[in-house]
């Protein structure tokens, strides 16, 4: 049976609750989604938007990545709540620290990837998550990073220079109607990073509202993480799937 992939479609995956343990003694809650019938080809470590403004591991683009990409692209997707952040999965220990102590959260996520033997981790940060990526993601285990709506509020030119020296791929998706940093401004700021590929997304906003924006984000992620796959992701699914609205 062929089913259209809609906003609430949940494709098959092996999903498990996980706990991340930080170097400063906290337990963070999360979920790992893996392909059902194959080993993952690469791993997405997702970093959510600002928790003081409603960001958490279930922020919709990250949730849809976990719902779709294990099945459509054989990717492992790790989502978790940074310190002090709560979601239906639970509350991570600790307190929000404005991006400073969260360096331990990023490291704990990569430690889990290492322990589980997951391949080729890419960081996928959204808004506040892009700040964590640029400030704390320069780990030799990281293959590259995708930034969604980077505000460049906490991350500085020094962080951009450090990423340039780090040398890993950096894909920057900037919405046309972003509230903080628009494509022209972003091109000027990210010019410091020679390996950065900046993609301005016409019609999109900071929150990537609407299914066309979500599809564009997921297509761009897969285009860089799985360049061996042809074209855009499928918009239909042949086989069983769930609808989150029915749960």
Q: What is the CATH number of the domain that holds 213?
A: 3.40.50.1820
- Please give the Cα distance from 27 to 85 (Å, whole number): 11
DSSP 82: P
Strands (E), the chain: 2-4, 9-10, 14-21, 27-34, 42-47, 75-80, 86-87, 90-91, 121-126, 144-148, 169-177, 196-205, 236-238, 242-243
Model pLDDT for residues 36-95, shown as the tens digit of each residue: 999 999 999 999 999 999 999 999 999 999 999 999 999 999 999 999 999 999 999 999
- Please give the Cα distance from 96 to 114 (Å, whole number): 25
Asked if 11 and 35 touch (Cβ cutoff 8 Å), the reply is no
Model pLDDT for residues 206-236, shown as the tens digit of each residue: 999 999 999 999 999 999 999 999 889 999 9
Q: Is the pLDDT reported for residue 7 higher than 70?
A: yes
The residue range of the domain holding 177 is 2-246
**pLDDT reported for residue 163:** 98
- Please give the Cα distance from 62 to 60 (Å, whole number): 5
**pLDDT reported for residue 1:** 78
> Within 13 Å and on the Cβ side, how many CA atoms surround 29?
15
The mean pLDDT value of the chain amounts to 97
As for how many domains the chain has, the answer is: 1
Number of H helices, E strands in the chain: 6, 14
Proportion of the chain above pLDDT 90, given as a percent: 97
DSSP 177: E
Proportion of the chain above pLDDT 70, given as a percent: 99
**pLDDT reported for residue 87:** 97
The closest of 224, 211, 234 to 60, measured between CA atoms, is 211
Across residues 147-158, what is the average pLDDT?
Answer: 98
Contacts of 128 (CB under 8 A, 6+ apart): 47, 48, 49, 50, 51, 55, 99, 151, 154
Does pTM surpass 0.75? yes
Q: Can you state the angle between helices 128-136 and 157-166, rounded to 10 degrees?
A: 60
Q: Is the pLDDT reported for residue 164 higher than 50?
A: yes
Asked if 54 and 208 touch (Cβ cutoff 8 Å), the reply is no
Say how many residues make up the chain: 247
Q: Is the pLDDT reported for residue 247 higher than 90?
A: no
Across residues 167-189, what is the average pLDDT?
Answer: 98
């Amino acid at each position: 049976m062929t089913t259209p992939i809609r906003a609430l479609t949940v494709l098959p995956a092996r999903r498990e609750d996980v706990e991340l343990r930080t170097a400063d003694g906290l337990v963070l809650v999360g979920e790992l989604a893996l392909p059902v019938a194959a080993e993952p080809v690469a791993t997405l470590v997702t970093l959510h938007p600002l928790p003081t403004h409603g960001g958490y591991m279930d922020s919709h683009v990250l949730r849809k990545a976990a719902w779709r990409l294990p099945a459509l692209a054989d990717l492992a997707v790790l989502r978790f709540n940074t310190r002090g952040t709560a979601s239906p999965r639970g509350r991570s220990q600790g307190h929000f620290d404005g991006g400073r102590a969260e360096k331990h959260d990023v490291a704990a996520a990569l430690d889990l990837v290492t322990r589980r033997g997951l391949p080729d981790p890419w960081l996928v940060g959204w808004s506040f998550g892009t700040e964590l990526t640029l400030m704390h993601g320069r780990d030799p285990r990281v293959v590259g990073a995708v930034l969604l709506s980077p505000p460049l509020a906490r991350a500085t030119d020094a962080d951009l220079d450090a990423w340039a020296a780090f040398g890993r791929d950096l894909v920057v998706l900037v919405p046309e109607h972003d509230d903080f940093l628009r494509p022209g401004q972003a091109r000027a700021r990210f010019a410091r990073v020679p390996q950065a590929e900046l993609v301005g997304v016409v019609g999109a906003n900071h929150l990537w509202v609407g299914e066309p924006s979500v599809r564009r984000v997921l297509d761009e992620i897969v285009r860089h993480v799985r360049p061996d796959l042809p074209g855009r992701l499928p918009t239909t699914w042949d086989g069983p799937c769930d609808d989150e609205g029915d749960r």
